[in-house]
A and B are shown apart, each in its own frame.
Chain A
């Protein structure tokens, strides 16, 4: 009955199930361990106030990270998000200073970011340029546009909406945190409960198989690049409100944290696995780490090094488990 072929049913190996579970939960354990560690070694860490602090600190990253989650799920990457955020902030301030009535400066900012994202998408999906190359070029373009519009100066005239969302409060809660939570929520709903979301996962899991099943994979990839740009743009528009000004390099430095947070959460760099819940965990890991290192007496010059090492560890972990995919 059974021949040498591979046709007998394979039982689900227990080690594989265990690995799958640990892949899912390792970031959560990491987060809990970090919280425990800082609670023990710092008196000021474990408090409601500090928790609110952490949320506030990661809010901008969360907005950007939502879009990056979409991008990574299709096995692409976007290295231009932080520069597009800066650019969107500059556009919003520039047109406000130019007396364009509200909310048009903000609309213009989001449209401008979306257009750059569309170029990223077309370059990746239609022209076949690796996304890291296209978006690397785009980071220079966005950065260049920011410098050109501002002539290197700082813009202080901001849209009122940016100021409210960036630094205002409602019922004692920062608007910024609410915007971040809403962005994450919408991202989650789209990914988990829409046909488009399913296409995103399937395209990332296997572009070839998705194409064979009639999925417009090029369209999906273009769309996620636009989504990545739009959330970056949103981060820029509210971010200037938080900073109180738009500078030509305002958010440039957030790139590594934004991508790092998504990867720390466990979203695969190879696509198809992960999601917004993972991203939230990743954001919290990064936030707790940054915040906690400030609270304990660590050499201030070691902070970046420690963060880097933890990010590297997360990447190694990510690759190790992705490698098991084909086993």
Chain B
């Protein structure tokens, strides 16, 4: 069977981004009628590779071979013309248009210069029937259907455009267990009809179920290509993490006393069965004074949305958030006044890059610092103190945030909340994209806060981040809390394992 000539091949492909080696010496192939899964941690190179396959990144080293002939894709359009279609994680559908229009987006069948609606509906129905979804009315707007059908319409679009290779990027991350199952079965059916699929997913149970082969990437390198049948989740996690896994096994959560360190601690924040559709559901936990609680999940698992909800950025549809026993009214202002602080996962969205540091730091506290008329010298003094405490370099309150490095920008975002120590500090991805030194400094700040009695909720999709700082870790997957680790030694492997979902359970 290895004699089947591949539909697509990458030979010794490499890609650099400004001195960072995103991919090194990648050899990869997809056979006709094969589902080939691609797994790896965030930053392992999956998305770079996928963008090369889909023509999004035209500049790279090495060769791509399509049906035995070397090609160099110029752009996604070129890829599509050859028969390579990509289905993005963030779907590019138009919910207001009909299902049929979505399937034929940009290439509606024409008759005498106008859209041939009858033919478009007929052909859309035919392709959906082929996919086993004949209950979908192609004349209805897509928004009337659940996300699974949106996904489906993208697949149908790829098929009707004559795609032979479909790249699916995290196709199930937003789907319900039912929809996930349908999608997986559909993917197998596609393969059975001779189409090839590159399947990118964090959910390893799904991967081993749906794929023929699995390629593992780590740090931009191909670690292995395995027969899916002959591997399992444990082996994949081990390969994704590499040798360091052994190191993590011992190194974390041993910093403090083990036996339930906060048995007697005062509860500060309590979530009761908090639910918000398409984000999180039925989430309950208690956060104690002086605790750092890690909340880990893969991207899209709803943990960031949970942080936003605690800060009052949007209302959950069910459940309660209690701060010291009292419900918190919506809106960041009220949350701040009650002692909740929040750092968003993308630091740019929380900062004013064009404005000086001091204006960034004092904005939440203007009323407290100087009443109706801001007094800049006083603001600068307050700012100077907090940015020195967190180690912003240079510690110049008048400097625009724009001119600081990423790590220092993040420190500004944190420093803001030291002006008045909060009761609850919700920090999302506080160390993403930082070098080791800056990471340690940020972690040190969080520890100092917790020792001063602040309840810290540390939300991240990077296992190292939660492992490095937390005494207790909650793991979220698809909007639910699936595991809690307290007072035991936890490894990155276990975290990833818990977050990547149990397919059997999901069904």
List residues of chain A with CB under 8 Å of any chain B CB: 1-12, 193-195, 198-199, 201-202, 205-206, 208-216, 272-273, 325
Q: Which residue in A10, A202, A209 is a CB contact (below 8 Å) of B350?
A: A209
The answer for the CA separation of A325 and B353 in the assembled complex, in Å, is: 9
Given A195-B371, A195-B373, A214-B332: A205 touches B354 (CB 8 Å cut-off) = yes
A198-B374, A212-B344, A213-B363 are known contacts. Are A9 and B352 too (CB-CB below 8 A)? Answer: no
Q: Is B423's beta carbon under 8 Å from chain A?
A: no
A6 to B404, CA, bound (A): 10
- Residues B350 and A212 in contact, CB atoms below 8 Å apart: yes
Residues of A close to B393: CB separation below 8 A:
9
Instruction: Kindly list chain A residues whose C-beta atoms are within 8 Å of the C-beta of B394.
Output: 9
Q: Are A213 and B416 in contact (CB under 8 A)?
A: yes
- Which residues of chain B in 360-395 are interfacial with respect to chain A, using CB atoms and an 8 Å cutoff? 363-364, 366-367, 370-374, 393-394
Closest to B410 in A: A7
Q: Which of B337, B349, B367 is close to A209, meaning CB atoms less than 8 Å apart? A: B349
Contact assessment for B405 and A195 in the assembled complex, using a CB-CB cutoff below 8 Å? no
The CA of A206 and the CA of B413, in the complex, are separated in Å by 14
B328 CB to nearest A CB, Å = 13
A213 lies within 8 A of B364 (CB): yes
A and B contact pairs by CB, cutoff 8 A, 5 listed: A9-B404, A198-B363, A210-B352, A214-B335, A216-B333
Task: Flag if B355 contacts A9 (CB, 8 Å).
Answer: no
CA distance A7 to B438 in the complex (A): 8
Please pick, from A2, A9, A215, A325, the residue contacting B363 in the complex, using a CB distance under 8 A: A215
The answer, among A4, A193, A272, for a CB contact under 8 Å with B19, is: A4
Kindly report which residue of chain B lies nearest to residue A215, judged by CB atoms: B363
CB of B145 within 8 Å of the partner chain: no
Provide the residues of chain A in CB contact with B438, threshold 8 Å: 7
Task: Let me know if B406 and A206 touch, CB within 8 A.
Answer: no
Also in contact, A5 and B363, with CB within 8 A (given A213-B332, A214-B332): no
Chain B residues whose C-beta falls within 8 Å of the C-beta of A214 in the assembled complex: 332-333, 335-337, 363-364
Report the contact-size class of chain B (Cβ under 8 Å from the partner): 35 or more
Instruction: Decide yes or no: A6 and B406 within 8 Å by CB, A205-B352, A209-B349, A213-B416 being known contacts.
Output: yes
Among residues 316 to 363 in chain B, which have CB atoms less than 8 Å away from a CB atom of chain A?
A: 332-333, 335-337, 342, 344, 349-352, 354-355, 359, 363
Q: How far is the CB of B327 from chain A (nearest CB, A)?
A: 19
User: Measured between alpha carbons, how far is A268 from B354 in the docked complex, in Å?
Assistant: 13
A202 touches B352 (CB 8 A): yes
In the assembled complex, the Cα of A208 lies from the Cα of B308 at a distance in Å of 13
Among B333, B335, B404, B434, contact of A5 (Cβ-Cβ < 8 Å): B434
Determine the distance from Cα of A215 to Cα of B405 in the docked complex, in whole angstroms.
Answer: 26
Q: Are A7 and B407 in contact (CB under 8 A)?
A: yes
- Complex A-B, nearest 10 residue pairs according to Cβ-Cβ distance, in ascending order: A213-B363, A3-B435, A7-B407, A6-B406, A214-B333, A4-B20, A7-B435, A214-B336, A214-B364, A213-B364
B408 within 8 A of A: yes
Interface check B437, CB cutoff 8 A: yes
A318 to chain B, nearest CB (A): 15
Nearest CB of chain B from residue A201's CB, rounded to whole Å: 8
Determine the distance from Cα of A151 to Cα of B408 in the docked complex, in whole angstroms: 64
- Residues of the A chain whose Cβ atoms lie less than 8 Å from the Cβ of B285: none
Is B133 interfacial (CB 8 A cutoff)?
A: no
Contact present for A2 and B435 (CB under 8 Å): yes
Q: Is B106 an interface residue (CB 8 A)?
A: no
For residue A189, which residue of chain B has the nearest CB?
A: B373
Taking CB atoms, residues of chain B closer than 8 Å to A10 are 403-405
B373 touches A212 (CB 8 A): no
* A208-B349 in contact (CB<8A): yes
Chain A CB count within 10 A is highest, among B337, B366, B405, B434, for B366
| A11 cross-chain contacts in B, Cβ below 8 A | 403
Quick one: which of B350, B351, B354, B407 contacts A272, CB cutoff 8 A? Answer: B354
Which residue of B337, B359, B406 contacts A198 across the interface (Cβ within 8 Å)?
Answer: B359
Q: Nearest CB to that of A192 among chain B residues?
A: B374
Tell me whether A195 and B374 are in contact in the complex, defined as CB-CB below 8 angstroms, given that A5-B406, A212-B332, A325-B354 are known contacts: yes
In the complex, which of the residues B311, B352, B370, B406 has the most CB atoms of chain A within 10 Å of its own CB atom? B352
* Complex contact A212–B349 (CB within 8 A): yes
Q: If the complex has contacts A4-B19, A202-B359, A213-B416, are A194 and B374 also in contact, measured as CB distance less than 8 A? A: yes
Q: How many Å lie between the Cα of A201 and that of B311 in the bound state?
A: 23
Q: How far is the CA of A210 from the CA of B313 in the complex (A)?
A: 12
Given contacts A3-B435, A209-B349, contact A202 B372 (CB under 8 A): no
A193 touches B407 (CB 8 A): no
Closest residue of chain B to A326, judged by CB? B353
CB distance from A260 to the nearest CB of B (A): 24
Let me know if B354 and A195 touch, CB within 8 A: no
CA distance A1 to B436 in the complex (A): 8
Given the known interface contacts A212-B332, A213-B416, A272-B354, the answer about A5 and B366 at a Cβ–Cβ threshold of 8 Å is no
Given the interface pairs A194-B372, A195-B366, A216-B333, the reply to whether A209 lies near B434 with Cβ below 8 Å is no
List residues of chain B with CB within 8 A of the CB of A193: 373-374
Determine the distance from Cα of A283 to Cα of B450 in the docked complex, in whole angstroms.
55
Write out the residue numbers on chain B whose beta carbons fall within 8 Å of the beta carbon of A202: 352, 355, 359, 363
Contacts A11-B403, A195-B372, A205-B354 supplied; 5 other A-B pairs, CB < 8 Å: A5-B407, A5-B435, A9-B408, A195-B366, A202-B352
Q: Which B residues are CB-close (under 8 A) to A12?
A: 403
Known A-B contacts A195-B371, A212-B349; A7 and B434 likewise in contact (beta carbons under 8 Å): yes
A9 touches B405 (CB 8 A): yes
Instruction: Chain A residues near B416: list those with CB within 8 A.
Output: 213
The residue on B at minimum CB distance from A198 is B374
Q: How far is the CA of A238 from the CA of B436 in the complex (A)?
A: 64
Closest Cβ of chain B: how far from A298's Cβ, in Å?
A: 40
Which A residues touch B407, using CB under 8 A? 5-7
Interface presence of B113 (CB below 8 A): no
CB-defined contacts of A3 to chain B, threshold 8 Å: 435-436
Whether the pair A6, B332 counts as a contact (CB closer than 8 A) is no
Contact of B433 among A6, A8, A206 (CB under 8 A): A6
Q: Which residue on chain B has the smallest CB distance to residue A212?
A: B350
The proximity string for B residues 405-420 relative to A, scoring 1 for CB distances below 8 Å and 0 otherwise, is 1111000000010000
B372 shortest CB reach to chain A, Å:
6
Q: Please, which residues of chain B bring their CB within 8 A of the CB of A201?
A: 355
Which residue of chain A lies nearest to B367 when distances are taken between CB atoms in the complex? A195
- Chain B nearest Cβ from A208, distance in angstroms: 5
B21 to chain A: closest residue by CB: A4
- Say whether A7 contacts B355, CB under 8 Å: no
User: In the complex, A316→B90 CA distance in Å?
Assistant: 34
